[in-house]
Structures are given as C-alpha cells and as structure tokens.
Amino acid sequence: MYTDNLMGANAFGKHFSVNDQHRSVLQEQLRLAYNHEEETLYIKWEGEVSSSELRQGYAHIMNMVHTYKPQKWIMDLQSRLAIEKEDQQWVFKYVFPQVLRTVNKNVFVAIVMPVFAYNSVVNEIDGDELIDGDNFMIIHHFLYKEESRRWLHEMAETDLKMA
C-alpha cells in the first residue's frame, strides 16, 4: 500500500508529473476530456486502479484543472473497482482542496457510480475539505450520466444567477 504524508500540491509534484515515464499504465484506467461547449471536465475511471495509478491519474486531472479551470465535472466511476479507503481519503484531503484553490469558484462534481458504492463514499466526508474561502465543491451522486448532466446544467445556471 502506497502512503503519502505530504501536504497539498506536494502530494502530486513529488511523486508524479504529467510527464511521468510510466503514464501509459493509465491508458486503460483513465479517460479525460474537456468539452468546451459544455464547459465540463469528463473523467472516467475503469477497472482496477492501484494507489500509485490513482495518484498519477489525479496528477493528470490536476493538469486539466490548471489548464481549463472547470467548474463542472462528470466523474464516471461505474466501471472502476473499489479503491482503498486511504486512497479515497487522499482524494478528499489533497485533491479536492487543491481543485478549489485552482478554480477559485464553486465547483460542481457529478459522480456517476453504482448504488452499492455510494455509502462508502458519503460516510467518509466531513465537509471541511470541500470549502475554500467563499467557494464550495458540491458533490452529488447519480446512477446515470444524463441525469448528472442535467444537474450540472441546473447548478451552473443557479450559480451564475447568484454571482
């Protein structure tokens, strides 16, 4: 099991970069795309993902976040096997706060996942990681991708009206 005791962005930079020589291992596990028209980052994880691969994958995701500063995300986890609890906590403790600091606006994350996996994710969140100043990361879980897209559209419209 890979453990990471580093803080913040160092959790990425000291271990992986987008130029990592082993990044090809993620070609089958991670698909990333930014849709300019929808202003949405699409993330799809598939299969078994080790701790090392997860961290490397999030280094790629953070590269996309730095480039596009997406407020809307669809993260499809339907085909990904369960990850270790420590890896799940790492995402909430290091990745999501870094996303909020980078985007510097509210971020809406629609997670598409099977019903059986929902409770394990929700029970581990305390919420402090999802706040940065006046900005929030709002996460909602869905069974279907189209449902998540509708929610993101509604949230973006509401967020723009409140700004």
For 141-154, b/e burial (b = at least 16 CB within 10 A) is: bbeeeeebbebbee
Structure tokens at 78: 């339907």
Q: Does the pLDDT value for residue 106 go beyond 60?
A: yes
- Cα 145 to Cα 111: distance, rounded to the nearest angstrom: 9
Span 9-15, mean pLDDT?
43
Q: Does the pLDDT value for residue 81 go beyond 50?
A: yes
Banded model confidence at residue 51, pLDDT cuts 50, 70, 90: very high
Find the range with the poorest average confidence among 21-25, 55-59, 69-73, 130-134: 21-25
Three-class SS state of 73? strand
pLDDT tens digits for range 128-148? 678 888 899 888 888 889 999
Write down the mean pLDDT value for the chain.
80
Judged on CB neighbours under 10 Å (0-12, 13-18, 19+), 100 is buried
Range with the largest mean pLDDT of 3-7, 54-58, 115-119: 54-58
Residues facing residue 140 across a β-bridge: 110
> What are the structural domains of the chain?
10-143 (3.30.750.24)
**pTM: predicted TM-score of the whole model, two decimal places:** 0.77
Banded model confidence at residue 115, pLDDT cuts 50, 70, 90: low
Q: Does the pLDDT value for residue 27 go beyond 90?
A: no
